[in-house]
């Protein structure tokens, strides 16, 4: 047996030697290398053909599937229909195109929760009377109202139902949360984060907020970040977004991310989700409290009207303890600021459709002066423009 394997090995070696001698006899000296080259060419050809039959390679950073729509839920408060997004040609980056004014939905009209519910002013009863000024809500009042979102979430509404209420005619799409964004921190340093990491460092809502509220926040925040990039808001300064809540969104580079598990969960459960209008990311404006009614963007900020930023009544906002702020001031103190003699009337009838004071007329025995709503807001120490007054 021990010689059996030796004999097999010897026989195989003899066969191999004979095959080699036969090949050398049959081919000229240059023929054998040519045979090897031919085999190599055939092998490479097979590889190229196989690769060409494989999955297509991504050609653009902006992916067409980001514009795919999803079914939209119906609001238990008011039914909202979301149209199918219009697919657009993929580009290297998301473009932001403001829609033409002729495609606008109906603008907000005064309603029971709007100007009709606010007093435009009454005659001053006497110089000894005291104004009781009331301000409903705070901030600009355009887009999504976070106080309203909070109580809608507590009432059982889903985040997509809520978003469809505040943003008119939107659709939902997807992006890749690993895309890079450049953030200017409070320390003046520019950091490059993924969109996912940027969202984790936002300081907009506390960790104990309802989950559907947090989902609303992060879908809106992701969308708003994209719109800032598309508008080149800070491109000239060498970054995409700043950390200020007054300019972009409140962000803290030193935030202890691990201490916010619910916020992190909301980011994960809405991974990549954004809101679009005609296939483009919307300017997802949001504010702390609308005071009972949001407003059209053009009535607050001027410029062209944007179809998805339409004013809406919001009864849920009134449930917030921050819904109303009260300021008292004597008639004598108030009239002394304007030099119009004995005060007769403070006329607040010049309002936006959502009830915000645009201009106020101060009418006195010695004349009339006009001030902007913003000036009145600042004088009274308010943070909003849905203002009315009474006397005591």
Q: In sequence order, what are the beta bridge partners of 328? A: 132
Interval 41-65 mean pLDDT: 45
Better-scored residue on pLDDT, 174 or 107: 174
Query: Rounded distance, CA 141 to CA 292, Å?
Result: 9
* pLDDT reported for residue 115: 45
Better-scored residue on pLDDT, 151 or 92: 151
At 200-240, the pLDDT tens digits run 999 888 899 999 999 999 999 999 999 999 989 999 999 99
Residue 287 belongs to a domain: yes
Say whether both 83 and 163 belong to one domain.
Answer: yes
* pLDDT reported for residue 111: 42
Tell me how far CA of residue 289 lies from CA of 219, 243, 264, 292, 309, in angstroms. Answer: 18, 21, 24, 8, 15
Contact (CB, 8 A) for 389 and 327 = no
**Final residue belonging to a domain, choices 30, 52, 74:** 52
What's this model's pTM, rounded to 2 decimal places?
A: 0.70
At 239-295, the pLDDT tens digits run 999 998 888 889 999 999 999 999 999 999 999 999 999 999 999 999 999 999 999
> Domain range spanning residue 33?
2-52
Residue 59 belongs to a domain: no
Say whether both 101 and 200 belong to one domain.
Answer: yes
Residue 14 belongs to a domain: yes
Say whether both 132 and 142 belong to one domain.
Answer: no
Say whether both 167 and 242 belong to one domain.
Answer: yes
pLDDT at residue 94 tops 90 = no
Name which of 85-89, 159-163, 382-386 the model is least confident about.
Answer: 85-89
Say whether both 312 and 384 belong to one domain.
Answer: no
* pLDDT reported for residue 371: 97
pLDDT at residue 379 tops 60 = yes
What one-character-per-residue DSSP string does 72-126 give? -PPPSSS----PPPPP----SS----PPPGGGPPPPP---TTTGGGS--------
Residue 58 belongs to a domain: no
Query: Rounded distance, CA 344 to CA 390, Å?
Result: 13
* pLDDT reported for residue 69: 28
Most confident of 42-46, 72-76, 111-115, 269-273: 269-273
Say whether both 103 and 157 belong to one domain.
Answer: yes
* pLDDT reported for residue 204: 86
* pLDDT reported for residue 245: 83
Say whether both 217 and 173 belong to one domain.
Answer: yes
pLDDT at residue 64 tops 50 = no
User: Which band of pLDDT confidence, cut at 50, 70 and 90, is reported for residue 41?
Assistant: low
Residue 233 belongs to a domain: yes
* pLDDT reported for residue 216: 97
Say whether both 275 and 195 belong to one domain.
Answer: yes
pLDDT at residue 49 tops 80 = no
Residue 254 belongs to a domain: yes
Q: In Å, how far from its chain's centre is CA 359? A: 31
Residue 148 belongs to a domain: yes
Interval 26-54 mean pLDDT: 56
**Final residue belonging to a domain, choices 268, 297, 319:** 319
Average pLDDT, the chain: 80
Say whether both 242 and 165 belong to one domain.
Answer: yes
pLDDT at residue 24 tops 80 = no
Residue 267 belongs to a domain: yes
pLDDT at residue 3 tops 60 = no
């Amino acid at each position: 047996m021990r010689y059996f394997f030796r004999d097999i090995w010897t026989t195989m070696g003899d066969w191999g030697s004979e095959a080699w001698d036969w090949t050398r006899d049959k081919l000229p000296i240059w023929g054998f290398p040519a045979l090897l080259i031919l085999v190599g060419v055939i092998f490479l050809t097979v590889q190229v053909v196989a690769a060409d039959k494989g999955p297509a390679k991504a050609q653009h950073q902006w992916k067409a599937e980001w514009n795919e729509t999803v079914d939209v839920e119906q609001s238990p408060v008011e039914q909202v229909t979301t149209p199918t997004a219009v697919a657009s040609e993929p580009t290297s980056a998301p473009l932001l195109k403001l829609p033409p004014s002729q495609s606008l939905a109906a603008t907000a009209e005064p309603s029971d929760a709007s100007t009709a519910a606010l007093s435009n002013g009454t005659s001053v009863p006497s110089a000894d009377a005291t104004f009781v000024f009331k301000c409903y809500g705070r901030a600009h009042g355009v887009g999504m109202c976070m106080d309203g979102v909070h109580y809608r979430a507590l009432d059982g509404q889903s985040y997509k139902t809520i978003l469809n209420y505040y943003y008119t005619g939107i659709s939902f799409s997807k992006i890749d949360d690993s895309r890079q964004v450049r953030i200017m921190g409070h320390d003046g340093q520019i950091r490059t984060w993924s969109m996912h990491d940027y969202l984790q460092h936002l300081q907009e809502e506390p960790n104990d907020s309802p989950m559907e509220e947090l989902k609303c926040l992060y879908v809106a925040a992701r969308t708003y970040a994209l719109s800032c990039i598309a508008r080149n808001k800070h491109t000239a300064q060498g970054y995409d977004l700043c950390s200020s809540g007054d300019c972009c969104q409140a962000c803290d580079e030193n935030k202890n991310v691990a201490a916010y598990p619910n916020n992190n969960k909301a980011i994960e459960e809405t991974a990549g989700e954004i809101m679009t209008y005609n296939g483009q990311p919307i300017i997802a404006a949001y504010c702390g409290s609308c005071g009972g009614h949001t407003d059209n963007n053009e009535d607050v900020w001027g410029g062209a009207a944007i179809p998805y930023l339409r004013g809406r009544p919001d009864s849920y906002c009134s449930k917030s303890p921050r819904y109303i702020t009260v300021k008292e001031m004597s008639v004598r103190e108030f009239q002394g600021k304007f030099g119009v003699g004995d005060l007769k009337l403070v006329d607040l009838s010049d309002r936006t459709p959502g009830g915000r004071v645009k201009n106020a007329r101060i009418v006195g025995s010695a004349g009339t002066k006009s001030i902007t709503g913003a000036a009145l807001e600042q004088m009274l120490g308010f943070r909003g423009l849905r203002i009315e007054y009474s006397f005591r």
